[in-house]
Amino acid sequence: MRGRSAVAAGLGLALALFLSSCGPLSSSGAGRPAARHRASSLPAARPVPAGHSSRTAHDFNGDGHPDLVVDSLLAPAKGHDDDPGIGIVYGSAHGLAPATRELLTPARNAARTGSAVPASFEAETVCDLDQDGFSDLVVTTDPPYDGIGRPPVPVQLLFGSPRGLGAGRAVRLRIPDRARFGNEWPDQPVCGDFDGDGAEDLAVTASGPRISYLRGPFTRTGAPKAAGAPINVPGTALATAAPLSSAVDLDHDGADDLLVRTAAPGHRARSRLALGGPRGPVRAGPAAYPPGYATVFGHFSAGGRGPTPATAGTDGLLSVAGRPGPLRTGTGGTPTLAAAEVTGDGYTDLVTGGTRPALLVGSADGLSTTVRRLTVPRLPGPGRPLSTVLALTDFDGDGHADLVLLTRRGHTHDRVTVHPGGPSGLTSKPDVSFTTADFTAP
Protein backbone atom coordinates (compact mmCIF):
# COMPACT_ATOMS: atom_id res chain seq x y z
CA MET A 1 0.00 0.00 0.00
CA ARG A 2 1.68 3.02 -1.36
CA GLY A 3 1.78 6.41 0.33
CA ARG A 4 -0.15 5.51 3.48
CA SER A 5 -0.08 7.86 6.46
CA ALA A 6 -1.59 7.97 9.92
CA VAL A 7 -4.44 10.11 8.61
CA ALA A 8 -5.27 8.28 5.41
CA ALA A 9 -4.32 4.92 4.06
CA GLY A 10 -4.12 5.25 0.29
CA LEU A 11 -2.68 3.05 -2.39
CA GLY A 12 0.18 4.49 -4.36
CA LEU A 13 6.44 -0.10 -7.09
CA ALA A 14 6.13 0.04 -9.37
CA LEU A 15 8.40 -2.10 -9.32
CA ALA A 16 9.37 0.42 -10.74
CA LEU A 17 11.23 0.04 -11.58
CA PHE A 18 10.66 -1.82 -11.17
CA LEU A 19 8.65 -1.79 -9.42
CA SER A 20 6.00 -3.40 -7.62
CA SER A 21 2.33 -3.80 -7.78
CA CYS A 22 0.52 -0.50 -8.11
CA GLY A 23 -1.64 1.54 -10.45
CA PRO A 24 -4.00 -0.34 -12.76
CA LEU A 25 -2.50 -3.72 -11.83
CA SER A 26 -2.83 -3.29 -8.08
CA SER A 27 -4.01 -6.46 -6.40
CA SER A 28 -6.35 -4.55 -4.13
CA GLY A 29 -9.83 -5.85 -4.85
CA ALA A 30 -11.85 -2.74 -4.01
CA GLY A 31 -14.59 -2.27 -6.56
CA ARG A 32 -13.37 -5.15 -8.72
CA PRO A 33 -15.95 -7.39 -10.40
CA ALA A 34 -15.42 -11.10 -10.00
CA ALA A 35 -14.02 -13.06 -12.91
CA ARG A 36 -16.24 -15.46 -14.80
CA HIS A 37 -16.26 -18.89 -13.17
CA ARG A 38 -14.33 -21.58 -14.98
CA ALA A 39 -12.11 -24.53 -14.19
CA SER A 40 -8.34 -24.17 -14.41
CA SER A 41 -6.79 -24.88 -17.80
CA LEU A 42 -3.55 -26.03 -16.16
CA PRO A 43 -2.76 -29.54 -14.94
CA ALA A 44 -3.45 -30.31 -11.32
CA ALA A 45 -0.89 -28.65 -9.08
CA ARG A 46 2.11 -30.82 -8.23
CA PRO A 47 4.13 -30.77 -5.00
CA VAL A 48 7.08 -28.40 -4.90
CA PRO A 49 10.34 -30.32 -5.47
CA ALA A 50 12.65 -30.09 -2.47
CA GLY A 51 15.96 -28.32 -2.93
CA HIS A 52 19.06 -28.16 -0.78
CA SER A 53 19.68 -24.36 -0.99
CA SER A 54 21.32 -22.35 -3.75
CA ARG A 55 22.68 -18.93 -4.63
CA THR A 56 20.23 -18.51 -7.50
CA ALA A 57 18.14 -15.37 -7.28
CA HIS A 58 14.36 -15.83 -6.87
CA ASP A 59 14.81 -19.50 -5.87
CA PHE A 60 12.31 -20.11 -3.08
CA ASN A 61 12.80 -23.90 -2.81
CA GLY A 62 16.59 -23.90 -3.23
CA ASP A 63 16.76 -26.26 -6.23
CA GLY A 64 18.98 -23.95 -8.30
CA HIS A 65 16.21 -22.79 -10.67
CA PRO A 66 14.61 -19.31 -10.52
CA ASP A 67 10.92 -19.12 -9.71
CA LEU A 68 8.24 -16.62 -10.78
CA VAL A 69 6.03 -14.40 -8.64
CA VAL A 70 2.64 -13.50 -10.16
CA ASP A 71 0.83 -10.80 -8.22
CA SER A 72 -2.45 -9.02 -9.08
CA LEU A 73 -4.45 -12.20 -9.70
CA LEU A 74 -7.91 -12.14 -11.19
CA ALA A 75 -10.58 -12.61 -8.57
CA PRO A 76 -12.21 -16.05 -8.36
CA ALA A 77 -15.83 -16.61 -9.25
CA LYS A 78 -18.17 -15.19 -6.62
CA GLY A 79 -15.06 -13.77 -4.97
CA HIS A 80 -15.10 -11.16 -2.25
CA ASP A 81 -13.26 -7.85 -2.30
CA ASP A 82 -10.28 -9.36 -0.45
CA ASP A 83 -7.01 -9.86 -2.27
CA PRO A 84 -7.07 -13.30 -3.98
CA GLY A 85 -3.39 -13.76 -3.16
CA ILE A 86 -0.02 -14.22 -4.83
CA GLY A 87 0.79 -16.94 -7.34
CA ILE A 88 4.16 -18.72 -7.42
CA VAL A 89 5.33 -20.74 -10.43
CA TYR A 90 8.38 -22.87 -9.67
CA GLY A 91 11.26 -23.35 -12.04
CA SER A 92 12.89 -26.50 -13.37
CA ALA A 93 15.85 -27.50 -15.53
CA HIS A 94 13.62 -26.89 -18.56
CA GLY A 95 12.25 -23.52 -17.44
CA LEU A 96 9.10 -22.54 -15.61
CA ALA A 97 6.75 -25.41 -14.76
CA PRO A 98 3.20 -24.01 -14.28
CA ALA A 99 1.97 -27.32 -12.91
CA THR A 100 4.33 -26.77 -9.99
CA ARG A 101 2.60 -23.77 -8.52
CA GLU A 102 1.24 -22.41 -5.28
CA LEU A 103 -1.30 -19.83 -4.22
CA LEU A 104 -0.29 -17.73 -1.22
CA THR A 105 -3.32 -16.14 0.45
CA PRO A 106 -3.71 -13.81 3.43
CA ALA A 107 -5.84 -16.41 5.23
CA ARG A 108 -3.27 -19.19 4.89
CA ASN A 109 0.03 -17.36 4.77
CA ALA A 110 -0.17 -13.86 6.29
CA ALA A 111 0.62 -13.03 9.88
CA ARG A 112 -2.42 -11.90 11.82
CA THR A 113 -2.75 -8.65 13.73
CA GLY A 114 -4.58 -9.81 16.81
CA SER A 115 -7.40 -11.92 15.39
CA ALA A 116 -7.59 -10.00 12.10
CA VAL A 117 -6.33 -11.36 8.78
CA PRO A 118 -5.01 -8.73 6.34
CA ALA A 119 -7.28 -8.08 3.38
CA SER A 120 -4.33 -7.25 1.11
CA PHE A 121 -1.21 -9.29 0.34
CA GLU A 122 1.13 -7.70 -2.21
CA ALA A 123 4.56 -8.94 -3.34
CA GLU A 124 7.26 -6.27 -3.16
CA THR A 125 10.81 -7.63 -3.36
CA VAL A 126 12.76 -10.91 -3.21
CA CYS A 127 16.10 -11.75 -1.56
CA ASP A 128 17.67 -14.20 0.91
CA LEU A 129 17.25 -12.30 4.16
CA ASP A 130 18.44 -15.01 6.57
CA GLN A 131 21.32 -16.36 4.42
CA ASP A 132 20.04 -19.95 4.38
CA GLY A 133 20.19 -20.42 0.58
CA PHE A 134 16.43 -20.05 0.04
CA SER A 135 15.03 -16.81 -1.38
CA ASP A 136 12.47 -14.99 0.74
CA LEU A 137 9.46 -12.92 -0.35
CA VAL A 138 8.77 -9.51 1.19
CA VAL A 139 5.10 -8.49 1.09
CA THR A 140 3.00 -5.54 2.21
CA THR A 141 -0.36 -5.87 3.93
CA ASP A 142 -3.00 -3.62 5.46
CA PRO A 143 -3.22 -4.33 9.18
CA PRO A 144 -6.07 -2.60 11.01
CA TYR A 145 -5.31 0.83 12.44
CA ASP A 146 -7.40 2.95 14.79
CA GLY A 147 -5.87 6.29 13.77
CA ILE A 148 -4.29 6.89 17.16
CA GLY A 149 -0.54 6.90 17.67
CA ARG A 150 2.04 5.26 15.45
CA PRO A 151 0.57 2.69 13.02
CA PRO A 152 1.86 -0.90 12.98
CA VAL A 153 4.40 -2.07 10.41
CA PRO A 154 2.50 -3.55 7.43
CA VAL A 155 5.54 -5.32 5.92
CA GLN A 156 5.77 -9.11 6.31
CA LEU A 157 8.40 -11.71 5.43
CA LEU A 158 7.69 -15.13 3.89
CA PHE A 159 10.77 -17.31 4.24
CA GLY A 160 11.75 -19.83 1.60
CA SER A 161 12.39 -23.47 2.44
CA PRO A 162 12.93 -26.87 0.75
CA ARG A 163 9.14 -26.93 0.35
CA GLY A 164 8.97 -23.42 -1.09
CA LEU A 165 6.92 -20.56 0.32
CA GLY A 166 3.47 -22.04 0.75
CA ALA A 167 4.37 -24.30 3.63
CA GLY A 168 4.88 -21.42 6.06
CA ARG A 169 3.19 -18.37 7.46
CA ALA A 170 4.70 -14.91 7.22
CA VAL A 171 6.16 -12.99 10.14
CA ARG A 172 5.89 -9.26 10.67
CA LEU A 173 8.98 -7.21 9.92
CA ARG A 174 10.37 -5.77 13.13
CA ILE A 175 11.47 -2.16 12.84
CA PRO A 176 12.94 -0.84 16.10
CA ASP A 177 11.41 2.44 17.30
CA ARG A 178 14.80 4.16 16.95
CA ALA A 179 14.72 3.41 13.19
CA ARG A 180 11.25 4.92 12.60
CA PHE A 181 10.26 8.52 11.95
CA GLY A 182 6.84 10.14 11.86
CA ASN A 183 3.49 8.41 11.58
CA GLU A 184 3.43 7.17 7.99
CA TRP A 185 3.17 3.49 7.25
CA PRO A 186 6.60 1.94 6.59
CA ASP A 187 6.31 0.96 2.94
CA GLN A 188 8.01 0.18 -0.39
CA PRO A 189 10.59 -2.31 0.94
CA VAL A 190 13.73 -2.80 -1.17
CA CYS A 191 16.39 -5.47 -0.59
CA GLY A 192 20.09 -4.85 -1.11
CA ASP A 193 23.49 -5.27 0.48
CA PHE A 194 23.77 -1.55 1.11
CA ASP A 195 26.78 -1.76 3.44
CA GLY A 196 28.77 -4.33 1.45
CA ASP A 197 29.09 -6.89 4.26
CA GLY A 198 27.62 -9.78 2.24
CA ALA A 199 24.22 -9.87 4.00
CA GLU A 200 20.99 -8.59 2.46
CA ASP A 201 19.56 -5.48 4.12
CA LEU A 202 16.14 -3.84 3.84
CA ALA A 203 15.21 -0.21 3.24
CA VAL A 204 11.63 0.95 3.83
CA THR A 205 10.12 4.41 3.69
CA ALA A 206 9.68 6.55 6.79
CA SER A 207 7.92 9.93 6.84
CA GLY A 208 9.28 12.49 4.40
CA PRO A 209 12.61 11.98 2.63
CA ARG A 210 13.80 9.42 5.16
CA ILE A 211 14.12 5.66 5.26
CA SER A 212 14.44 3.03 7.93
CA TYR A 213 17.66 1.20 7.09
CA LEU A 214 17.66 -2.33 8.51
CA ARG A 215 20.92 -4.28 8.42
CA GLY A 216 20.83 -8.00 7.70
CA PRO A 217 20.90 -10.84 8.17
CA PHE A 218 17.40 -11.18 9.62
CA THR A 219 16.11 -13.66 12.16
CA ARG A 220 13.16 -15.95 11.44
CA THR A 221 11.14 -13.71 13.75
CA GLY A 222 11.62 -10.77 11.37
CA ALA A 223 14.26 -8.85 13.33
CA PRO A 224 17.26 -7.21 11.63
CA LYS A 225 20.80 -7.61 12.91
CA ALA A 226 20.98 -3.88 13.58
CA ALA A 227 19.15 -0.62 12.87
CA GLY A 228 20.03 2.96 13.67
CA ALA A 229 18.25 6.27 13.34
CA PRO A 230 16.40 6.96 10.05
CA ILE A 231 18.61 8.33 7.30
CA ASN A 232 17.91 11.02 4.73
CA VAL A 233 17.61 10.05 1.06
CA PRO A 234 17.13 12.21 -2.07
CA GLY A 235 13.41 11.52 -2.46
CA THR A 236 10.29 10.14 -0.80
CA ALA A 237 9.69 6.83 -2.60
CA LEU A 238 11.79 3.73 -3.23
CA ALA A 239 11.98 1.50 -6.30
CA THR A 240 13.88 -1.42 -7.78
CA ALA A 241 15.59 -1.61 -11.15
CA ALA A 242 13.76 -4.81 -12.15
CA PRO A 243 10.44 -6.38 -11.14
CA LEU A 244 10.58 -7.59 -7.50
CA SER A 245 14.38 -7.49 -7.60
CA SER A 246 17.09 -6.47 -5.15
CA ALA A 247 19.13 -3.31 -5.55
CA VAL A 248 22.40 -3.48 -7.52
CA ASP A 249 25.91 -2.10 -7.11
CA LEU A 250 26.15 0.49 -9.88
CA ASP A 251 29.38 2.23 -8.91
CA HIS A 252 31.26 -1.04 -8.26
CA ASP A 253 32.36 -0.18 -4.73
CA GLY A 254 31.07 -3.43 -3.20
CA ALA A 255 27.84 -1.98 -1.79
CA ASP A 256 24.43 -1.89 -3.49
CA ASP A 257 22.85 1.44 -4.40
CA LEU A 258 19.24 2.46 -3.72
CA LEU A 259 17.02 4.03 -6.38
CA VAL A 260 14.94 6.84 -4.86
CA ARG A 261 12.07 8.70 -6.54
CA THR A 262 10.37 12.03 -5.92
CA ALA A 263 6.91 10.43 -6.23
CA ALA A 264 5.43 7.02 -5.52
CA PRO A 265 5.97 4.24 -8.07
CA GLY A 266 3.29 4.32 -10.75
CA HIS A 267 3.61 8.08 -11.10
CA ARG A 268 5.91 10.06 -13.36
CA ALA A 269 8.83 11.38 -11.31
CA ARG A 270 12.53 12.12 -11.25
CA SER A 271 14.79 9.59 -9.59
CA ARG A 272 18.27 9.52 -8.10
CA LEU A 273 20.59 7.07 -6.42
CA ALA A 274 21.36 6.87 -2.74
CA LEU A 275 24.84 5.33 -2.91
CA GLY A 276 25.64 2.46 -0.58
CA GLY A 277 28.74 2.23 1.59
CA PRO A 278 29.92 1.03 5.02
CA ARG A 279 27.24 3.17 6.72
CA GLY A 280 24.50 2.21 4.26
CA PRO A 281 22.86 4.25 1.44
CA VAL A 282 23.68 7.66 2.91
CA ARG A 283 25.27 9.52 -0.06
CA ALA A 284 23.25 11.06 -2.87
CA GLY A 285 24.36 10.08 -6.35
CA PRO A 286 25.84 12.77 -8.60
CA ALA A 287 23.00 13.01 -11.12
CA ALA A 288 19.21 13.00 -11.19
CA TYR A 289 17.53 10.95 -13.92
CA PRO A 290 14.87 12.44 -16.24
CA PRO A 291 11.22 12.26 -15.20
CA GLY A 292 9.62 8.92 -15.98
CA TYR A 293 7.72 5.92 -14.69
CA ALA A 294 10.52 3.36 -14.44
CA THR A 295 14.33 3.33 -14.61
CA VAL A 296 16.65 0.39 -15.30
CA PHE A 297 20.40 0.11 -15.74
CA GLY A 298 22.58 -1.64 -18.29
CA HIS A 299 25.38 -1.21 -20.81
CA PHE A 300 23.25 0.91 -23.11
CA SER A 301 25.91 3.34 -24.34
CA ALA A 302 28.63 2.83 -26.93
CA GLY A 303 32.30 2.84 -25.97
CA GLY A 304 32.31 0.22 -23.23
CA ARG A 305 31.19 2.58 -20.48
CA GLY A 306 29.77 1.29 -17.22
CA PRO A 307 26.07 0.87 -16.44
CA THR A 308 23.90 3.72 -17.69
CA PRO A 309 20.24 4.45 -16.96
CA ALA A 310 17.26 4.06 -19.27
CA THR A 311 14.06 5.80 -18.17
CA ALA A 312 10.58 5.27 -19.64
CA GLY A 313 8.68 8.53 -19.90
CA THR A 314 5.39 9.48 -21.53
CA ASP A 315 4.24 8.87 -25.11
CA GLY A 316 6.64 5.98 -25.56
CA LEU A 317 9.75 8.13 -25.11
CA LEU A 318 12.85 6.49 -23.69
CA SER A 319 15.69 8.49 -22.13
CA VAL A 320 19.09 6.78 -22.24
CA ALA A 321 22.18 7.84 -20.27
CA GLY A 322 20.33 10.89 -18.92
CA ARG A 323 19.52 12.40 -22.32
CA PRO A 324 15.77 13.20 -22.37
CA GLY A 325 13.68 11.31 -24.90
CA PRO A 326 16.17 10.23 -27.60
CA LEU A 327 14.23 7.06 -28.44
CA ARG A 328 10.56 6.67 -29.33
CA THR A 329 9.24 3.16 -28.72
CA GLY A 330 5.60 3.73 -29.68
CA THR A 331 4.53 2.03 -26.45
CA GLY A 332 1.46 3.53 -24.78
CA GLY A 333 0.00 3.17 -21.32
CA THR A 334 1.96 3.14 -18.06
CA PRO A 335 5.31 1.62 -19.07
CA THR A 336 7.37 -1.03 -17.32
CA LEU A 337 11.02 -1.80 -18.08
CA ALA A 338 13.41 -4.71 -17.69
CA ALA A 339 17.00 -5.16 -18.87
CA ALA A 340 19.06 -8.33 -19.38
CA GLU A 341 21.00 -10.24 -22.01
CA VAL A 342 18.39 -11.76 -24.31
CA THR A 343 20.60 -12.45 -27.35
CA GLY A 344 23.62 -13.55 -25.31
CA ASP A 345 26.14 -11.36 -27.16
CA GLY A 346 27.41 -9.60 -24.03
CA TYR A 347 25.33 -6.45 -24.47
CA THR A 348 22.29 -5.47 -22.43
CA ASP A 349 18.92 -5.68 -24.17
CA LEU A 350 15.85 -3.76 -23.05
CA VAL A 351 12.15 -4.70 -22.92
CA THR A 352 9.48 -2.08 -22.44
CA GLY A 353 5.94 -3.03 -21.48
CA GLY A 354 2.75 -1.10 -22.21
CA THR A 355 0.02 -1.22 -24.84
CA ARG A 356 2.61 -2.11 -27.53
CA PRO A 357 5.47 -3.91 -25.74
CA ALA A 358 8.81 -3.97 -27.51
CA LEU A 359 12.39 -5.28 -27.47
CA LEU A 360 15.35 -2.97 -28.11
CA VAL A 361 18.55 -4.94 -28.72
CA GLY A 362 21.89 -3.79 -27.34
CA SER A 363 25.14 -3.75 -29.32
CA ALA A 364 28.67 -2.33 -29.31
CA ASP A 365 27.14 0.86 -30.73
CA GLY A 366 24.65 1.18 -27.88
CA LEU A 367 20.94 0.46 -27.69
CA SER A 368 19.33 -0.08 -31.09
CA THR A 369 16.80 2.46 -32.31
CA THR A 370 15.01 -0.32 -34.20
CA VAL A 371 11.94 -1.31 -32.20
CA ARG A 372 11.05 -5.00 -32.33
CA ARG A 373 7.35 -5.22 -31.53
CA LEU A 374 6.40 -8.15 -29.27
CA THR A 375 3.43 -10.43 -29.84
CA VAL A 376 0.74 -10.28 -27.18
CA PRO A 377 -2.31 -12.52 -26.76
CA ARG A 378 -5.71 -11.42 -27.96
CA LEU A 379 -8.18 -10.73 -25.20
CA PRO A 380 -11.91 -9.98 -25.44
CA GLY A 381 -12.98 -6.35 -25.58
CA PRO A 382 -12.15 -3.14 -27.47
CA GLY A 383 -8.82 -1.33 -27.61
CA ARG A 384 -5.32 -2.50 -26.79
CA PRO A 385 -4.74 -4.40 -23.54
CA LEU A 386 -1.86 -3.42 -21.25
CA SER A 387 1.18 -5.71 -21.02
CA THR A 388 3.35 -5.56 -17.90
CA VAL A 389 6.83 -7.08 -17.65
CA LEU A 390 6.82 -9.61 -14.81
CA ALA A 391 10.36 -10.91 -15.36
CA LEU A 392 13.27 -10.92 -17.78
CA THR A 393 15.35 -13.83 -16.48
CA ASP A 394 17.11 -16.91 -17.80
CA PHE A 395 14.64 -19.50 -16.55
CA ASP A 396 15.91 -22.47 -18.62
CA GLY A 397 19.65 -21.96 -18.07
CA ASP A 398 20.63 -21.53 -21.74
CA GLY A 399 22.36 -18.18 -21.25
CA HIS A 400 19.51 -16.14 -22.75
CA ALA A 401 17.02 -14.16 -20.67
CA ASP A 402 13.37 -15.18 -21.08
CA LEU A 403 10.50 -12.70 -20.95
CA VAL A 404 7.37 -13.13 -18.86
CA LEU A 405 4.53 -10.76 -19.78
CA LEU A 406 1.22 -10.23 -18.01
CA THR A 407 -1.32 -8.92 -20.54
CA ARG A 408 -4.60 -7.70 -19.05
CA ARG A 409 -7.84 -6.07 -20.10
CA GLY A 410 -9.94 -4.78 -17.24
CA HIS A 411 -10.54 -7.03 -14.26
CA THR A 412 -11.88 -10.12 -16.04
CA HIS A 413 -9.38 -11.18 -18.71
CA ASP A 414 -5.63 -11.65 -18.65
CA ARG A 415 -2.87 -13.96 -19.87
CA VAL A 416 0.66 -14.67 -18.70
CA THR A 417 3.01 -15.62 -21.55
CA VAL A 418 6.62 -16.82 -21.41
CA HIS A 419 8.79 -15.95 -24.44
CA PRO A 420 12.21 -17.68 -24.48
CA GLY A 421 15.22 -15.64 -25.49
CA GLY A 422 17.83 -16.66 -28.07
CA PRO A 423 20.49 -15.27 -30.43
CA SER A 424 17.82 -13.69 -32.63
CA GLY A 425 15.80 -12.21 -29.77
CA LEU A 426 12.53 -13.28 -28.14
CA THR A 427 10.20 -15.87 -29.66
CA SER A 428 6.90 -14.55 -30.91
CA LYS A 429 5.06 -17.72 -29.88
CA PRO A 430 5.14 -18.32 -26.13
CA ASP A 431 6.36 -21.58 -24.65
CA VAL A 432 3.96 -21.22 -21.72
CA SER A 433 0.61 -19.43 -21.52
CA PHE A 434 -1.97 -19.30 -18.74
CA THR A 435 -4.35 -16.91 -17.01
CA THR A 436 -3.90 -15.75 -13.43
CA ALA A 437 -7.41 -17.07 -12.77
CA ASP A 438 -5.82 -20.54 -12.98
CA PHE A 439 -4.41 -19.97 -9.50
CA THR A 440 -7.83 -19.41 -7.94
CA ALA A 441 -9.98 -21.69 -10.14
CA PRO A 442 -11.28 -24.88 -8.53
Q: Print the domain residue range for 250.
A: 173-292
Q: Mean pLDDT of all residues in the chain?
A: 87
For the chain, what is the domain count? Answer: 3
Q: Do 280 and 299 belong together in one domain?
A: no
Residue 303's CB is within 10 A of a number of other CB atoms, namely: 8
Q: Is residue 145 part of a domain?
A: yes
Q: Do 269 and 342 belong together in one domain?
A: no
Summarised one tens digit per residue, pLDDT across range 285-329 is: 988 998 999 999 998 876 666 788 999 987 889 998 877 667 888
Average pLDDT on 238-256 reads 90
pTM, entire model: 0.89
Q: Is residue 49 part of a domain?
A: yes
Q: Report which of 196, 239, 54 is spatially closest to residue 132, judged by C-alpha positions.
A: 54
Percent of the chain whose predicted confidence (pLDDT) is above 70: 88
Picking from 164, 189, 213, the residue at the C-terminal end of a domain is: 164
Q: Do 220 and 352 belong together in one domain?
A: no
Q: Is residue 11 part of a domain?
A: no
Picking from 292, 322, 340, the residue at the C-terminal end of a domain is: 292
Q: Do 301 and 433 belong together in one domain?
A: yes
Q: Do 160 and 181 belong together in one domain?
A: no
**SS3 (DSSP) at 101:** strand
Picking from 292, 316, 334, the residue at the C-terminal end of a domain is: 292
For the four alpha carbons of 70, 75, 77 and 79, in that order, the dihedral sign comes to: positive
Q: Do 222 and 257 belong together in one domain?
A: yes
Q: Is residue 339 part of a domain?
A: yes
Average pLDDT on 4-16 reads 33
Q: Is residue 17 part of a domain?
A: no
Q: Do 287 and 309 belong together in one domain?
A: no
Q: Do 370 and 418 belong together in one domain?
A: yes
Q: Report which of 328, 190, 324, 339 is spatially closest to residue 265, judged by C-alpha positions.
A: 190
